[in-house]
Structure 1
């Protein structure tokens, strides 16, 4: 098995970061490279209410997938997907952990545990010919999540300030 795991510190609460991840319809507003789209089945189902065993429609780097939800809790969203006859399979996950580094923030963990028969391509070492590209994609997505979460947090905090003091200068 090969694993890719990226940890990113975000100055927003785990709930706020989770909300961004679950808002599939708005991904195109803040991310345009790795995950092209994710849709619930049936379309329009509330992603916050996804249950283990339900499926999604996803397009990731041009590849269409129908992954199965493994977990959807306050601390993790994960799914299991497979393509090309099981060559590339794995559990993809997003974790929202209360940060011990960023006060009031989140340690956002984005990763995948690969188990398909072509897994060696994502492993460490000389045979992991695709690993660096995958790490860059996951890191880029995580940076986009961080930027979006921190931008939304500033907006939310700014609105709260103006509601308590309409003369405050933002």
Structure 2
């Protein structure tokens, strides 16, 4: 099962990417991922979140308003994407691979932002009802990100 959302942001991709990686300010603008903290940094870098970095992510369900947290591991962080994977029991049981993508337009002044998640595992049929608000949460975050990036001087 895959959820894929996108939005065009009237700001350069580098600015959108900076906002995505500025975890410390998520609570001020992000209605879905309300907090992201680095809890294990395998790269020993204070400036770059790299593969193997473990995060503590808090998210707010768009339908119920309940907050939950999980601890995914970063799979990739490069110029165009940040990707992590969270699991329950193990990836064979349930896994979600989340991706933020920032693609620059030809003129360099706008960014196509995509947010997606690929869910898999034997428990997916049982957990599918709990994922019903995820798409709405992504869309709310995308709109808030657009507003935040377009209002920056």
1:8-157 paired onto structure 2 within 5 Å: 8-32=7-31, 34-42=32-40, 46=46, 48-61=47-60, 62-83=67-88, 85-86=89-90, 88-99=94-105, 104-120=109-125, 129-130=129-130, 132-152=132-152, 155=153
Once the two structures are overlaid, the 10-residue window that deviates more, 11-20 or 51-60, is: 51-60
Higher helix fraction (1 or 2): 1
Residue 121 of structure 1 and its aligned partner are, at CA, apart by 6.4
Structure with greater Cα Rg:
1
Q: Deviations over 1:26-70 (max 9, x none)?
A: 0111123x2121001259x63x51111111111123222111001
Q: What's the TM-score once normalised by structure 2's chain length?
A: 0.81
The runs of 4+ residues in structure 1 deviating greater than 3 Å are 128-132
Calculate the TM-score normalised by the size of structure 1: 0.74
Higher strand residue share? 2
> Could you list the runs of 5+ residues in structure 2 that have no partner in the other structure?
61-66
| Paired positions, count | 142
Unaligned runs of 5+ in 1: 123-127, 156-170
CA RMSD of aligned residues (A): 2.3
Range moving further from structure 2, 66-75 or 34-43:
34-43
